[in-house]
Amino acid sequence: MSKMKVVKFNMQDQPEFYKELRGRVNNYFTENNISRYANSAMKFKTAFMICLYFLPMFAMITGLIQTTGLMFLMWILMGFGMAGIGLSIMHDANHGSYSKNKRVNSALGFLINFIGGNHVNWKIQHNVMHHSYTNIDEFDGDLEAATFRFSPEQERKSIFKYQAFYAPFLYGLMTIYWLTSKDFLQLIDFKKRNILESQGVEFKRAITLLSINKAWYVLLTIIMPLVMLPMAWWQVMLGFFVMHFICGLMLALIFQPAHVLEETAFYEVKQTGSVENHWAIHQLRTTANFAKNSKLFSWFIGGLNFQIEHHLFPNICHVHYPKISHIVKQTAEEFNLPYHQHETFGDALKSHFSLLYDLGTGNYDKRMAKA
């Protein structure tokens, strides 16, 4: 890709909506004397997710667990722990919404390196590219995938007609892709597009630290188990693969059905460099919630079923999203703006895979041509 361009939103498009919404949300925290950062329940969840990931490995390495069956169970638990850390801890921390203390956010945000990712890359792709330019082709990093057509603005290739069927498998490989190549390729791409410079990141230092982080991660999660566990090498590698596959699949199936859906809008700004909507209204048009009444599910996935609230207020810890969602929905309705939501997670998945199928086969393009 070429140098990163600048996208301009139409800040004159109902600016009173976001002003009113911010005021109401701010009043909620002020009137109830509540901090917008993590509360005690969030801190408990943090400890739980960290233990869910690290304790199974500790049990294997120290010999507390020795049978092959139980060891595979430990790898499975670690997969859920990885997803829990990614969805419920490092996500808030890297948004700066876990704590008002920047050091706490940095420390917890660094946990992504313990699950095979990289905090520098993640902040740029997610915070800068995805949150700023949601569902805008060539700007939203979450839409960039050579093996998928996630947007109608992207070129359709013959292989994409099968994407709804191969998606679950490739989704499961997501964190392995982070570990082995994506973070390196992405960092190089960010340098070419001058994104690193705009974020105050020096390439040589970033690539050196990335390489060091990957090296100690491989030492911790592959080399050490190969040396210390009473398992055949292929069993260790299978356990490692299963752990990552569980995490990758969970992460993808939570994030994709929040934006790549039949009802959400997609944009391109190749000609004018501008978007017709106010940034906040753009978030409403490109984002959807799901399963708002599933409390346990919402607890585990870091409240990311409330994606609308997260995109409008990424600086607020996710434990507060269920409460402020009522404010957001009511305000959107008052201004005759969309508030996309699915009653269940299954409904959101159905919409996501239906869109993948239509984008891949060209059915989406045919419908748009007739409209």
Taking only the tens place, the pLDDT of each residue in 60-114 is 999 899 899 999 999 999 999 999 999 999 999 999 999 999 999 999 999 999 9
Q: Quick check: is 366 in a domain?
A: yes
What does the alpha-carbon distance between residue 36 and residue 95 come to, in Å, rounded to a whole number?
A: 13
Q: Are 271 and 222 in contact (CB under 8 A)?
A: no
DSSP letter, residue 267: B
What does the alpha-carbon distance between residue 337 and residue 186 come to, in Å, rounded to a whole number?
A: 35
Instruction: Give the contacts of 325 (CB within 8 A, at least 6 positions apart).
Output: 289, 292, 306, 308, 309
Q: Quick check: is 148 in a domain?
A: yes
The per-residue pLDDT for 298 is 97
In terms of Cα–Cα distance, which of 118, 114, 121, 120 is closest to 218?
114
Q: Which residues of the chain have pLDDT under 70?
A: 1-5, 270-272, 371
Condensed to tens digits (0 to 9), the pLDDT of residues 264-293 reads: 999 988 655 788 899 999 999 999 999 999
DSSP letter, residue 126: I
The per-residue pLDDT for 339 is 98
Q: Quick check: is 65 in a domain?
A: yes
Q: Are 288 and 258 in contact (CB under 8 A)?
A: yes
Q: Are 356 and 159 in contact (CB under 8 A)?
A: no
Q: Are 291 and 307 in contact (CB under 8 A)?
A: no
Backbone angles phi, psi at 288, to 5 degrees: -140, 150
Kindly provide the b/e burial profile for residues 279-310, where b requires at least 16 CB atoms within 10 angstroms of the residue's own CB: bbbbbbbbbbbbbbeeeeebbbbbbbbbbbbb
Q: Quick check: is 362 in a domain?
A: yes
Q: Quick check: is 51 in a domain?
A: yes
The answer to whether the Cα torsion of 275, 278, 279, 285 is positive or negative is negative
What does the alpha-carbon distance between residue 99 and residue 62 come to, in Å, rounded to a whole number?
A: 34
Give the range of the structural domain holding residue 365, as residue numbers without chain letter. Answer: 8-370
Find how far residue 244's CA is from the centre of its chain. Answer: 15
Q: Are 332 and 341 in contact (CB under 8 A)?
A: no
The continuous run of DSSP H or E covering 179 comes out as none
The structure tokens listed for 63 are: 């010999």
The per-residue pLDDT for 1 is 44
pTM: 0.93
The per-residue pLDDT for 317 is 98
Q: Are 90 and 46 in contact (CB under 8 A)?
A: no
Structural domains of the chain, count: 1
Q: Quick check: is 121 in a domain?
A: yes
Per-residue CA distances from 297 to 77, 84, 88, 250 (Å): 16, 11, 12, 12
Other Cβ atoms less than 10 A from the Cβ of 368: the count is 9
Q: Quick check: is 1 in a domain?
A: no
What does the alpha-carbon distance between residue 279 and residue 55 come to, in Å, rounded to a whole number?
A: 42
DSSP letter, residue 258: G
What does the alpha-carbon distance between residue 209 and residue 234 come to, in Å, rounded to a whole number?
A: 29
